[in-house]
Structure 1
Amino acid sequence: MEKIVFLDRATLAPQIKLRKPGFAHEFVEYEKTAPEDVLTRLAGATIAITNKVALTKEVLDRLPGLKLVAVAATGTDCVDKAACQHRGIAVANIRGYALNTVPEHTFALMLALRRNLVAYRNDVLAGVWQKSGQFCFFDHPIHDLGGARLGIIGEGVLGQRVAEIGKAFGMVPMFAAHKGKQGLGPLYTPWSEVLATSDVISIHSPLTPETRNMLAMPEFRAMKRKPLIINTARGGLVDEGALVQALDEGLISGAGFDVTDGEPPRMDSPLMRVAGRPNVILTPHVAWASDEAQQALADQLVDNIENFVGGKPTNLVQSAY
């Protein structure tokens, strides 16, 4: 009989139904798990489920019965995959569930900032409308999406979907060539051109050593059209201190971020210090989290586990062999 342990069930909303696998098993779930409790809670487990709880080499080396790590997310950086490979532990992840929710959140941020909705809402609540003496007022600039140049960093399924929606708005999407690389084919616009000509830059890249801080002061200073910066991908892709400096110097017109470098962020972190500005929107890593997307994730998670136990594994990022 398999023993399945879910280390951080609270990373899925309580209304999301997680069906139990259709084979003999013991299922144990914890709302949250501190690092010092991981080993104890996984003792005797054959299948571990984690979203953000780290599974380190030190822990994995002491779990001889573990056969599968089922990650309840797409990113697998919380798992030491080299240690899993050494011990013959398979790792599976979730794919394709966020095709609507992340792009929709991206455009919610984009529309709110391009049309200055936060600033106008604040003014309405402060009574500025009544003081204006006419039917409307123009204290903050409003820009259409139609005709704007949309620079997209990351050409995966989410970046592609953002491009499709951008075209529907009449935007001109451009996929940025990978930083520091040339000759990547007709899909791509040179990195320097995307920086210089975009009205909005939307990030949809994984976080790797190569992509960390891919946008910093040199890049912000190359942004001639003072674009919005939208990040619904990963914290750490943008140098947050440099982002604040770029906002202060007027090098960019605003920022819509759903992710931070360290989550939750410290109250004195760069993004938290500017989160109250009308041209900054910071949301708590919820772009992925529509009810529909979370349910699709939960269903796929159990599918991955059932398929692995049934001998037909799916969504493996690393085989057990």
Structure 2
Amino acid sequence: MSKDNEEPHHIVAIEAIHCKIPSFTLPSPHTKAIYNWTTPSELESRVKDATIIITTTIRLNAEILNPLKTPKLRLIVILASGTDCVDKDAARDRGIPVCNCPSTNIDSVSEHAIGLYFAVRRKLVDMTNSVRNVPDSLDFDTEWKSSGSLKGKLKSIDGGAPLLCSQETMGIVGFGNLGRRIRGIAVGLGMNVIIAERKGEEERAREGRVGFEEVLKRSTVLVLCLPRTPETEKLISTEEFRMMKAQTVLINVGRGGDCG
């Protein structure tokens, strides 16, 4: 960043749709360009003169980080906790720092995870649709009209009622700040919570951790709170699904690539 006093910064926010880009106070003059969204075809022309790029999910790969494409670039800021949208090796090779915002969305994502659990376990979407989708003809029988109840739709895969929170065992895979926050909420709801050891580390499980495969077998709710890395890609696949109980609810608030 030794060039800070030699030329003004040009700050380019390529993805301002997610949150408002603040005003900046810098010791030297600067310009900024703010775009609500940037398509792949627009990216190169928008960042070619940038000294600072602000992104959230739009990928900055090795091609766009080539000095020929972004010759003035000196800093990348990610308005998110994850950093997988940036080719960090390419940035490191050029000495470009990559800054993110860790733990900024812990509360919202953890509450979203619990909301997803209730939506799936209690089949809220299906139940809502059943209530709202009333046929125009009064002569057409619906489950509600014929039986006076929708409890048949609410039944679990084993034919019983959906599990109560006090009957659930939540397995958490990924025990960083997000996983810890989800555990706190789940315990408050009366769930039994177990924390998974890293896959393949069953024989060296740390205190308070349970072997990865055992967590899959015991959990009635499985929550993934993982970043996307080569180690976590397709962490849950066919073999892992076969280990789970039939009524297990899988909630992934990490990255889509963790399941495959």
SS at match of 2:106: coil
From 168, 171, 177, give the equivalent of 1:151: 171
Aligned equivalent of 1:56: 61
Task: Give yes or no for contact 2:197–2:210 (8 Å, CA) kept in 1.
Answer: yes
Q: For residue 47 of structure 1, what is the aligned residue in structure 2?
A: 52
The one-letter code sitting in structure 2 at the alignment partner of 1:18 is I
Q: Distance in 1 between matches of 2:150 and 2:47?
A: 60
Q: Alpha-carbon deviation of 1:137?
A: 4.6
Report if aligned partners of 2:81, 2:104 keep a CA contact under 8 Å in 1.
no
Shift of the alpha carbon at 1:59?
2.3
- C-alpha displacement of 1:120: 2.4
Q: Summarize deviations over 1:112-155 as a string: whole Å, max 9, x none.
A: 2222222322332345334334xx45212232112310011110
2:49 and 2:245 map into 1 onto residues whose CA distance is 58
One-letter code aligned to 2:77 = A
Of 141, 146, 149 in structure 2, the residue corresponding to residue 131 of structure 1 is: 146
Residue in structure 1 matching 2:73, options 66, 70, 85: 66
> Which residue among 167, 173, 182 is the counterpart of 2:193?
173
Q: CA deviation at 1:35?
A: 2.6
Q: Is 2:82–2:102's contact at 8 Å kept on the other side of the alignment? A: no
Matched, 1:201 2:208: no
Report SS of the residue matched to 2:170: strand
| Aligned residue type for 1:238 | C
Separation in structure 2 between the aligned mates of residue 59 and residue 35 of structure 1, nearest angstrom: 10
Match of 2:25 in 1: 22
Match of 2:82 among 66, 75, 89: 75
Which of 11, 15, 18 aligns to 1:8? It is 15
Q: In structure 1, how many angstroms separate the alpha carbons of the residues matched to 2:20 and 2:96?
A: 27
Distance 2:42 2:244 in 1: 46
Contact 1:114 1:145 survives alignment (8 Å): no
Distance in 2 of aligned mates of 1:8 and 1:225: 40
Q: Give the CA RMSD over aligned residues.
A: 1.7
Does residue 102 of the first structure (1) align with residue 109 of the second (2)?
Answer: yes
- Greater Cα radius of gyration, structure 1 or 2: 2
Which of the pair has the greater relative contact order for Cα pairs under 8 Å at 6+ separation?
1
Q: Please show how residues 275-290 of structure 1 align to structure 2 within 5 Å.
A: none
Distance 1:118 1:101 in 2: 21
Q: 1:198 to 1:40 in 2, by over 3 A?
A: same
Q: How many residues align?
A: 233
Extract unaligned runs of 5+ from structure 1.
240-321
8 Å CA contact 1:115–1:144 kept in 2: the answer is no
Say which is worse superposed, 199-208 or 124-133, in terms of deviation.
124-133
- Could you tell me which amino acid in structure 2 is paired with residue 45 of structure 1? A
Structure 1 SS opposite 2:184: helix
Q: Which amino acid is 1:218 matched to?
A: E
1:85 matched to which residue of 2?
Answer: 92
Identical amino acids, percent of aligned pairs: 34
Shift of 1:72: 1.6
Amino acid at match of 2:25: G
Instruction: Tell me the TM-score normalised to structure 1 length.
Output: 0.68
Question: What does 1:295-306 align with in structure 2 at a 5 Å threshold?
Answer: none
Give the TM-score normalised by structure 2.
0.83
Change (3 A) 1:87 1:51: same
Distance 2:130 2:71 in 1: 61
Supply the distance in 1 between the matched residues of 2:35 and 2:126 (Cα, whole angstroms).
41
